[in-house]
Amino acid sequence: MPKIMPCLWIDDRIEEMVRFYVDTFKDAEIRDVQHYPDGRVLTMNFRLKDQEFMALNGGDNFKFTEAVSFVVDCKDQAEVDFFWNTLTANGGEESMCGWLKDKYGLSWQIVPERLIDLIWDTRDKAASGRAQQAMFQMKKIIVADIEKAYAGG
């Protein structure tokens, strides 16, 4: 069965970037490396969790934009904190509502499971609305603050 695999166009920092992602997502590996005739890395195929990627060393013609982002589902606040702090370190940028850019310019959404439960609760739309409004004010998602808003506090 054919797969759909994102291809990330990057400049000569391809090896640094791929190793950063593989080190960040513990269930990850580099699967294959291809080289240009001059010995520089052309492509690297790698896996993060269950998602396969290709990185292409294509030069600096194109840059990442927020039009594409990758969602990281987090089981709790500790995972949110780990991915947020790791991906924004050394030049990454925080954005709103759990979005960030890493130091390579790639956009990520760091989403705790509990957030989804609270902002999409169809049983209590008022509470869900309060939780959504709280989220709209945040950069990194703080689960305790979302729960407090949901509860009416």
Count of domains forming the chain: 2
Which whole-number Å values give the CA distances from 88 to 95, 114, 134, 145, in the listed order?
A: 10, 22, 22, 21
Domain of residue 130: give its range.
Answer: 64-153
Inter-residue contact 77 to 143 (CB < 8 Å): yes
Last residue of a domain, one of 39, 62, 85: 62
- Asked if residue 1 has pLDDT above 60, the reply is no
10 and 30 fall within a common domain = yes
CA 106 from chain centre, in angstroms, equals 8
Are 56 and 72 found together in one domain? no
What pLDDT sits at residue 3?
A: 87
Kindly state whether residues 71 and 139 are assigned to the same domain: yes
Long-range CB pairs of 29-33 (<8 Å, 24+ gap) are: none
pLDDT band per the 50, 70, 90 thresholds, residue 59: very high
- Final residue in a domain of this structure, among 31, 62, 93: 62
23-51 residue pLDDT tens = 999 899 999 999 999 999 999 999 999 99
CATH classification of the domain holding 43: 3.10.180.10
Stated pTM of the model = 0.93
